[in-house]
Amino acid sequence: MLAHVHSAAAFVLAAASGGTTSGKEESSNFLVSPDVGLMVWTLLSFVVALLVLRKYAFPAISEALDKRQRMIEESIDAAAASKAESEALLAEYRERLKEARAQADEIVASARKAGDEVQRSAAESGQAKRDELVEQAKKDIEGETRRAIQEIRSEVADLTVAATEKVTRRTLTAEDQKRLVEDALSELDFSSLGERSN
């Protein structure tokens, strides 16, 4: 840069000195002598450019840049907000999932418990039923046995009456017969029969 200036200065000096020696001053001095007309035109042009740019160019460019900056800021904010929102949502869903899982576990546990309960109570009630049935059967058997013995007794009595009638050829009164049989039977032991049938 300095070399630039130096070379220019050297040329300007050379041109200036050359101009004076050759007697044609106006041919080279124009390089360094300010021209009032050009200065005025430049000033006017610059002022026009300044006014036009200040009114029609800079505000629009500035506005567009600001707008873009705002948009970028907004989109960054929006992205941060949606990220936070999605994180919150995610946390909520996780929480819910955890709850759901706990609930499911609870449900399974209670179902299992209920099942066990049902199974246990079913087993218990079955046992009771069976016991009851067995008991009933026992009772029935006992009753039947007693009835059968009773029947046998009366059958035996009747047979005995018939047999005695044949033997004695006479008929006792019914009351006599009955008394006699009863006496005879009471001497017989039927308990062994009952035990056997049992």
Partner 1 sequence: MIKRLPLLLLPLVALLANPAGALALNINEDYKPQNEFKLDTWIDLPGPFDLNKAVFYVFVATLLTTLAMVLVARRMTQRPNRIQTAVEAAYTLMRDNIAGGNMDRRMAAKWFPFIATLFLFIWFSNMLGYLPLPTNTEHKVDIAGLQIPSLALYAATANLSVPLVLTLVVWFAYHIEGFRAKGVIGFYKGLVPAGVEGPAAGPIFAIELISDFVRVVSLSVRLFANILAGHLLILFMGGGLVVLLNLAVAGSVVLGLVTGTMAVAFFLFEIGLVATLQAFIFSTLTAIYLGGAVADEH
Contacting positions for partner 1 (CB under 8 A): 1, 4-5, 7-9, 11-12, 15, 27-28, 30-43, 45-46, 48-50, 52-54, 56-65, 67-68, 71
Of 5 and 167, which has the nearer Cβ to partner 1? 5
- The terminus-to-terminus CA distance of the chain in angstroms comes to 138
Closer Cβ to partner 1, 38 or 167, answer by number: 38
CB nearer to partner 1: give 22 or 127. Answer: 22
Give the nearer residue to partner 1 in terms of CB position, either 12 or 185.
12
| Three-state SS sequence of 5-60 | HHHHHHHHHHHHHHHHHHCCHHHCHHHCCCCHHHHHHHHHHHHHHHHHHHHHHHHH
Residue 66 backbone phi and psi in degrees, to 5: -60, -40
Kindly report the length of the chain: 198
CB of 44 to partner 1, least distance (A): 9
- The DSSP 8-state label assigned to residue 171 in this structure reads -
CB of residue 92 to partner 1, shortest distance in Å: 36
